[in-house]
Amino acid sequence: MFGLSELAILLIVVLVFFGAKKLPELARNVGKAARILKSETKAMKTEAAAADPQQPAPRIIRAQPGNSAGERPGGGTGSGPART
């Protein structure tokens, strides 16, 4: 993602732009915004589940260790005929 040099440059730009005295306040506000976003997302999911109890909850499929990005959780990449 970002290397050490890019992060250092970004930090210097932020320090120049906002000033050292404003950084703690800025970080606090970003943390509050993240918590609010998380709680609102959770509330929306709870609300949607309560509104339509017949609809199953969305399923999250996670990659299993050893699978490459293109493989399905059940195995195989999806190319070629299905085996029976």
Identity of residue 68 = S
Closest C-alpha among 69, 72, 47, 68 to residue 57: 47
Is 12 inside a domain boundary? no
In a domain, 24, yes or no: yes
43 falls within a domain:
yes
Angle, CA 19 vertex, CA 16 and CA 21 arms, to 5°: 160
Instruction: Tell me if 26 is assigned to some domain.
Output: yes
Q: Count of domains in the chain? A: 1
Q: Is residue 31 part of a domain?
A: yes
pLDDT digits (tens, 9 = 90+) for 43-70: 998 888 777 766 666 677 776 666 555 5
Please report whether residue 82 resides in a domain.
Answer: no
Range of the domain at 47: 19-52
pLDDT digits (tens, 9 = 90+) for 14-39: 888 888 888 889 889 999 999 999 99
Q: Look at residue 60 and tell me if it is in a domain.
A: no
